[in-house]
Chains A and B, each alone.
Chain A
Amino acid sequence: MKILVVEDEEILRLNIMDYLKAEGNVCDFADRFDTASEKMTLYDYDCILLDLTLPDGDGLKLLQQLKKEDKSDGVIIITARSSIDQRIEGLSLGADDYLIKPFHLSELSARILAVVRRRSFKGNDLIVFNELTIDIQRKTVKVNNLSINLTRKEFDLLLYFLANKSKVIAKSALVTHIWGDHADMADSFDFIYTHIKNLRKKLVDAGCKDYFHSVYGVGYKFTDE
């Protein structure tokens, strides 16, 4: 996928690009309003990550410009502004998603995948990974063409892992993904363990290879290596 990262904070931008490049994406960047505006006009991207507060302009104006030029790039707003008004304004101007800083790179990756999928596969939204087939629309999972029953949270987890294949995902990223921003229950990390244990068991019982690898209690990795 071709992704444009519009972000003026250099370290954050480099990190995002490194993470996304490691997944095989092509990344371009803009750290100012005018360069972003130029690149958005010249090229087509699968997804644009847009910071709203740029040193020389309001990111929302870039959204308007994109709309005016009738472009179909997916846009995810990444911002520290968390007011609902702005969120609504951003989404009504044609952004596909809205991610509030700070966020986990794994979360960003999952959102990008969702946006790109939603834009490119209309209706027929299948993710295939070896013997696993996932229908995002119908929220069904098949192992070797055999349906298995997953709870909503287990389904979300599996999708999240698939969006971050071969990456180590921090437990705190999983917790935030499943329970949202307000989850700060001291033992929520244990629940992630329980959920993954259950998900793993259901997949393995259905004849799926065990792709889950625990990394010293800090996170998990989903890989077929």
Chain B
Amino acid sequence: MRLFTAYNRVLLITSIAGLLLIGYLFYHTLSNYLNKQLDNYLVEELLEVKDYTTKKESFPAHTAFEDLVIEYHQIRQVSLKRHFGDTIFYNAKKQVEETGRYLEEDLQMGGQIYRVKIIASKIAHADQAKSIFLVIILPVLALLLLLLLVSRYMMKRIWLPFKQLLLNLKSFNLNQEQNFAQVSTSIAEFKELNDAIVDISQRVKSDYREIKLFTENASHEMMTPIAVINAKLDMMLQSADLSEEQSKNLIDLYRATAKLTKLNQSLLLLVKIDNNLLRDREQLNLKSVLIEKLQYFQEFTQQNGIVVNVNLQNHSLLMSRYLADILLDNLIGNAIRHNKEGGNIDIKLNSEGLWVSNTGANEPLDDKVAFERFYKSPSSEGMGLGLAIVKQIVELHQFGITYSYQTGVHTFAVFFKHHSANSPIL
């Protein structure tokens, strides 16, 4: 809900409720007051009737009263004191039914008891009430409407710097050199907000620079000692009197060093993707990259008797070539590594996405943690970074990825459609 809408909604609800309440109270009081006036009039008329009856020992004729209807009924005993009420009666003069106010009282005349009912029309009074009501309520309504319009306009005007701030925030890019575009405003709160954002953006920028520097330094500091170990191993390998025992040690050392290298590379890669340091986007034909990859993995699949089925349509997308390589290496590499002798790999590519399925363990992966760093299935010999890297690459390019399992077949699906179109990273 927008701020304007929220604000207007509250304003509208309270003003309508208040207006209704005030209108009701006002109308009620007004009609009560008018009824009282009518009642006094009726009492006066009744007194006249009483006077008449005591003097003349009979009731005045119906026609003696203007605008009034008067009825006499003979009754057995006195039961009613003076009584007022609302009624609907037939106005013989106008020949219509009208609302009216009546007064009933029992009278004694010549030993007989009569009930006298005098009815006065309320039409004139109701009209009066209506016009008084309208004269007061209509201007109030108009005033309210005006207030709403003014507040709407003011809200738009006053919040303009805020909107501009938002716009600038959205277009702020950590990777670009220019700083956050400031917004000049005379409103203190927005000024404060603007200053806070400027402050934060500068701090983030400097932190970001430090991270970049750290990445580079960490890479250099770790890779160089590993390079020394590697070079030493290569030199040891050249010694003429290498025994079988020493050779076995060398094999283990080579493997450990390779693993260390791989680990370091993977961690640095993750940091780089996290910090969006790999921005060599190009238009890639994923089909041809996939075909290349399958050739590259040929020996590995043939050796294990794995049958690779492909269903590839041409699909180009904007992607980092380097990361596309790593993505496919990891997905296909996993499909081979976690396969079984004589198993299958199915690869499907179309404009929607890429599906890599493989036969393998009869247990699904825990899809909640499968993509987390250093998670690995018990049978895995890797470091548990492959899928974390895959996920990171997928997220960087705003793709989606899912894992599913069905009777021994594990499927990873990468969807190329944007998850959320309004969160551009680049």
Interface, chain A (partner B; CB < 8 A): 9, 11-12, 15-16, 18-19, 22, 53, 79-85, 100-106, 167-173, 176, 179, 181-182, 184-188, 190-191, 194-195, 215-219
Inter-subunit contact A103/B230 (CB<8 Å)? yes
Pick from B228, B251, B262, B280: contact of A218, CB under 8 Å: B251
Chain A residues near B233 (CB-CB < 8 A): 170
Q: Mark B130-153, 1 if CB is under 8 A from A, else 0.
A: 000000000000000000000000
Give every chain B residue within 8 A of A185 (Cβ-Cβ).
300, 333, 336-337
Q: Which of B227, B322, B336 contacts A84 (CB 8 A)?
A: B322
Q: B223 contacts A102, CB within 8 Å?
A: yes
List B contacts of A216 (CB < 8 A).
242, 244, 247-248
Known: A9-B228, A11-B232, A12-B227. A53 touches B277 (CB 8 A): no
Query: Bound state CA distance, A12 and B230, in angstroms?
Result: 9
- If A15-B231, A170-B254, A216-B242 touch, does A184 touch B382 (CB 8 Å cutoff)? yes
A104 — which chain B residues lie within 8 A by C-beta?
230, 234
- Contacting pair A101 B223 (CB below 8 A): yes
Using CB atoms, name the residue of chain A closest to B231: A15
CB pair B235 A18 closer than 8 Å: yes
- Residues from chain B with a CB closer than 8 A to the CB of A106 are 234
The distance in angstroms between the C-alpha atoms of A221 and B317, with both chains bound, is 45
Q: With a 10 A CB-CB cut-off, give which of B227, B299, B325 has the most chain A CB atoms.
A: B227
Q: B105 interface residue, CB < 8 Å from A?
A: no
Give A12 to B235 CA distance when docked, in angstroms.
11
In the assembled complex, the Cα of A37 lies from the Cα of B426 at a distance in Å of: 40
Q: Which residue of A lies closest to B246 (CB)?
A: A216
| Contact, CB under 8 Å: A184 / B220 | no
What's the minimum C-beta distance from A80 to chain B, rounded to whole angstroms? 4
Please tell me if the beta carbons of B234 and A102 are within 8 angstroms of each other in the complex: no
- The CB with the most chain B CB atoms within 10 A, among A80, A102, A187, A215, is that of A102
Chain A minimum-CB-distance residue to B212: A83
**A102 with B216, Cβ < 8 A, contacts A19-B235, A218-B247 known:** no
Which residues of chain A are within 8 angstroms of B336 by Cβ–Cβ distance?
185
Is the Cβ of B277 less than 8 Å from the Cβ of A16? no
- Residue numbers of B with Cβ under 8 A of A are 216, 219-224, 226-235, 237-238, 242, 244, 247-248, 250-251, 254-255, 257-259, 261-262, 265, 268, 272, 277-278, 280, 296, 299-300, 303, 322, 325-326, 329, 333, 336-337, 381-382
A80 contacts B219, CB within 8 Å? Answer: yes
Residues of B within 8 A of A168 (CB): 237-238, 242
Which residues does chain B contribute within 8 Å of A103, judged by CB atoms?
A: 227, 230
Whether B220 contacts A53 by the Cβ 8 Å rule is yes
Which B residues are in CB contact (< 8 Å) with A170? 233-234, 237, 250, 254
Other-chain residue from B226, B280, B322, B381 in contact with A186 (beta carbon distance below 8 A): B381
Q: Are B254 and A80 in contact (CB under 8 A)?
A: no
B residues less than 8 Å from A171 (CB atoms): 251, 254
* Docked-complex contact B337 and A15, CB < 8 angstroms: no
Across-interface contacts of A16 in B (CB, < 8 A): 231
The answer on a CB contact under 8 Å between A82 and B219 is yes
Taking a contact as CB atoms closer than 8 A, the residue among A80, A83, A188, A215 that contacts B224 in the complex is A80
Measured CB to CB, the closest approach of chain B to A165, in angstroms, equals 12
Counting from the closest, the 4 A-B pairs by CB-CB distance are A216-B247, A80-B223, A15-B231, A102-B227
Residues of chain B within 8 A (CB-CB) of A167 are 238
Chain B residues with CB below 8 A from A11, complex form: 228, 231-232
Shortest CB distance A174–B (Å) = 11
Q: Is the CB of A83 within 8 A of B337?
A: no
A118 to chain B, nearest CB (A): 24
**CB–CB A172/B300 < 8 A:** no
Inter-chain contact B226/A101, CB cutoff 8 Å: yes
Give chain A nearest CB distance to B378 CB in angstroms: 15
Contacts of B333 in A (CB 8 A): 182, 184-185
Known: A102-B223, A182-B326. A22 touches B258 (CB 8 A): no
Q: In the complex, which residue of chain A has the Cβ closest to the Cβ of B383?
A: A184
Across the interface, do B220 and A81 meet the contact criterion of CB distance under 8 Å? Answer: yes
* Complex alpha-carbon distance, A16 and B329, angstroms: 31
Bound complex: CA A176 to CA B261 (Å): 12
* Residue among B221, B254, B262, B381 with most chain A CB within 10 A: B254
Chain B residue nearest to A184 in the complex (CB): B262
Q: Are B303 and A187 in contact (CB under 8 A)?
A: yes
Q: Are B229 and A102 in contact (CB under 8 A)?
A: yes
Cβ-defined contact, A215 with B247, below 8 A:
yes
Instruction: Please tell me if the beta carbons of A15 and B244 are within 8 angstroms of each other in the complex.
Output: no
Output the least CB separation between B61 and chain A (Å): 115
For B329, the chain A residues whose CB sits under 8 A away are 182
Enumerate chain B residues within 8 angstroms of A176, measured Cβ to Cβ.
258
Interfacial chain B residues near A172, Cβ < 8 Å: 254-255, 257-258
Contacts of B300 in A (CB 8 A): 185, 187-188, 191
Subset of 27 A-B contacts with CB under 8 Å = A9-B224, A11-B228, A22-B238, A79-B220, A83-B277, A84-B280, A85-B280, A101-B223, A102-B223, A102-B229, A102-B231, A105-B230, A170-B234, A170-B250, A170-B254, A172-B254, A184-B259, A185-B300, A185-B337, A190-B303, A194-B303, A215-B242, A216-B242, A218-B248, A218-B250, A218-B251, A218-B254
Shortest Cβ distance from residue A27 to the other chain B in the assembled complex, whole angstroms: 14
User: B254: which A residues are within 8 A, CB to CB?
Assistant: 170-172, 218
Q: Which residues of A contact B272 (CB under 8 A)?
A: 83
**A105 contacts B219, C-beta separation under 8 Å:** no
Among candidates B227, B247, B299, residue contacting A217 with C-beta atoms closer than 8 Å: B247
Question: Which residue of B is nearest A187, CB measured?
Answer: B303
Contacts of B280 in A (CB 8 A): 84-85
Residues in A whose Cβ lies below 8 Å from that of B219: 80-82
Question: What's the least CB distance linking A183 to chain B, in Å?
Answer: 8
